[in-house]
């Protein structure tokens, strides 16, 4: 018999978070989250996403054993401002039992129907800076700290329950050796002169912080036209600033500014923390933070996390300046592999940025949708 229970207390939410640790304990490609960080993200008093969203966390049990989990989410900014009558689900993990999947999704349907919503889509988080998509290809590739990993049967369950693929994402990789300066040096010099632009580099996190709010403003503007984009609020800016910026090497944050010191483009690259997180086993203490610190300083793999360009500069080869700066930084640090995090498969403009580096698509993922 399958029973569904809402996780409300800290202890119950911890059990919710820990379920994948047992599900994937023998899987060398699953990357665990930090338990404390997940708990904070689910705390309505700490995560500003809850200012415009509501979420409920459920576990499925057989007897006393947890066999699945799901979060049912409504992003009210999306519903009220974009008129997308959608209930989301995320943080979905389950054993290979479609009846468990069906029982968990029923809680999502209940929330959607209660609020007169029209369809369900997932897996996805509260906002565009959360994890997204169920993995459909690349199960033999190691996950990252900013993506969900899952078993192949997840997609099969959704398809059997009448879901259709909604948004498709690709992830690709290329060796840094593929990056040749001739791809961007000439354009770098030309664009700088023509538009009076200059790169802005950093050596310390303290130097980065005064510019982060403007970066998020640019993020909102440059991504506004993408499917299902929900703008980042001022309070979310503060939250993500504290959550992410200290994790990132300041040398891996690049801005481009005009002659009046307005930011027209930015990019954030992160060192790979995958192996460090596996060693940490979800805990910062006693040794987890040491593994993460070592990865931050010594990782030879990097993830291109975000890149944004103001709409009026998007066809002016401004990314040549960014690539030139990263080339010098990566060369100095001995970077070996470059990975791109999930990008919408139909975002041709972003894919064209990387074509000279001969990237190989090594993972695919998607969200699934079903009418209520």
Kindly list the structural domains of the chain, giving each domain's residue range(s) and its CATH number in brackets, ordered by start: 2-172 (3.40.630.30), 175-361 (3.40.630.30)
The region of weakest confidence among 242-251, 292-301, 325-334 is: 242-251
d(CA 193, CA 185): 13
Render pLDDT for 61-111 as a digit per residue (tens, 0 to 9).
Answer: 999 999 999 999 999 999 998 899 999 999 999 999 999 999 999 999 999
> Is 9 within 8 Å of 34 (Cβ atoms)?
no
Please give the Cα distance from 368 to 164 (Å, whole number): 5
Place 349 in a pLDDT band, splitting at 50, 70 and 90.
confident
Q: Record the tokens describing residue 72, joined without a space.
A: 């049912």
Question: So what's the pLDDT on residue 340?
Answer: 94
Dist. CA 309–CA 264, nearest whole Å: 6
Share of the chain above pLDDT 90, in %: 78
d(CA 46, CA 41): 7
Q: Where does the pLDDT of residue 128 fall: very low under 50, low under 70, confident under 90, or very high at 90 and above?
A: confident
What percent of the chain has a predicted confidence (pLDDT) above 70? 99
Cβ–Cβ under 8 Å, residues 321 and 188: yes
- DSSP category for residue 355: G
pLDDT digits 0-9 by tens, 163-173: 999 999 999 99
Confidence (pLDDT) at 239 = 85
pLDDT of res. 363? 98
Compute the mean pLDDT over every residue in the chain, rounded to the nearest whole number. Answer: 93
Q: Alpha carbon of 364 to those of 167, 168, 181, 305, 351: distances in Å?
A: 11, 7, 29, 16, 14
Confidence of residue 36 (pLDDT cuts 50, 70, 90): very high
Full-model pTM: 0.93
pLDDT mean over 235-264: 88
Enumerate the H helices of 269-347 as residue ranges.
Answer: 274-280, 288-298, 319-333
Q: Quickly list H helices, the chain.
A: 10-23, 35-41, 76-82, 98-114, 153-160, 185-195, 205-223, 234-244, 274-280, 288-298, 319-333, 348-352
Question: Cis (ω within 30 of 0) for the bond into 313?
Answer: no
Residue 149's pLDDT band (boundaries 50, 70, 90)?
Answer: very high
Task: Report the alpha-carbon distance of residue 345 to residue 98 in Å, rounded.
Answer: 28
Tokens representing 53 are 């969203």
Token pair, residue 62, equals 């057989």
Q: Give pLDDT, residue 263.
A: 93
Q: How far apart are CA 340 and CA 354, in angstroms?
A: 10
Give the per-residue pLDDT at 227: 62
Residue 232 confidence class, pLDDT cut points 50, 70, 90 = confident
Q: What whole-number distance in Å separates Cα of residue 33 and Cα of residue 30?
A: 10
Average pLDDT on 185-193 reads 91
Between CA 333 and CA 298 the distance in angstroms is: 8
pLDDT at 240: 82
Per-residue confidence band for 228, with pLDDT thresholds at 50, 70 and 90: low
E strand or H helix at 62 = strand 53-62
pLDDT category at 235 given cuts 50, 70, 90 is: confident
């Amino acid at each position: 018999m399958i029973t569904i229970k809402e996780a409300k207390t800290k202890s119950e939410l911890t059990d919710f978070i820990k379920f994948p640790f047992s599900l994937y304990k023998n899987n060398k490609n699953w990357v665990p989250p930090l338990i404390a960080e997940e708990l904070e993200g689910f705390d309505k008093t700490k995560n500003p996403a809850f200012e415009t969203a509501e979420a409920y966390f459920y576990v499925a049990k057989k007897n006393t054993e947890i066999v699945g989990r799901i979060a049912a989410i409504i992003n009210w900014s999306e519903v009220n401002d974009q008129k997308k009558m959608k209930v989301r689900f995320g943080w979905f993990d389950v054993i290979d039992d479609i009846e468990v999947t069906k029982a968990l999704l029923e809680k999502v349907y209940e929330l959607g129907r209660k609020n007169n919503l029209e369809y369900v889509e997932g897996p996805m988080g509260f906002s565009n800076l959360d994890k997204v998509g169920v993995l459909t290809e690349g199960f033999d590739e190691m996950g990252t700290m900013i993506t969900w990993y899952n078993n192949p049967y997840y997609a099969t369950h959704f398809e059997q329950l009448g879901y259709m693929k909604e948004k498709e994402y690709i992830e690709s990789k290329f060796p840094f050796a593929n990056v040749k300066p001739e791809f961007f040096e000439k354009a770098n010099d030309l664009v700088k002169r023509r538009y009076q632009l200059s790169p802005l580099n950093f050596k310390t996190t303290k130097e980065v912080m005064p510019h982060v709010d403007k970066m998020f403003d640019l993020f909102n503007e440059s991504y506004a036209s993408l499917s299902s984009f929900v703008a980042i609020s001022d309070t979310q800016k503060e939250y993500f600033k504290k959550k992410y910026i200290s994790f990132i090497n300041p040398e891996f944050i690049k801005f481009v500014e005009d002659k009046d010191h307005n930011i027209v483009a930015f990019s954030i690259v992160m060192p790979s923390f995958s192996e460090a997180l596996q060693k940490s086993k979800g805990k910062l203490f006693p040794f987890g933070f040491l593994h993460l610190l070592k990865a931050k300083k010594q990782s030879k793999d990097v993830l291109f996390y975000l890149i944004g360009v103001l709409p009026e500069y998007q066809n002016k080869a401004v990314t040549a300046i960014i690539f030139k700066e990263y080339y010098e930084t990566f060369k100095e640090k001995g970077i070996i592999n470059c990975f791109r995090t999930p990008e919408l498969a139909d975002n041709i403009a972003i894919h064209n940025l990387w074509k000279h580096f001969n990237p190989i698509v090594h993972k695919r993922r998607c969200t699934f949708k079903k009418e209520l």
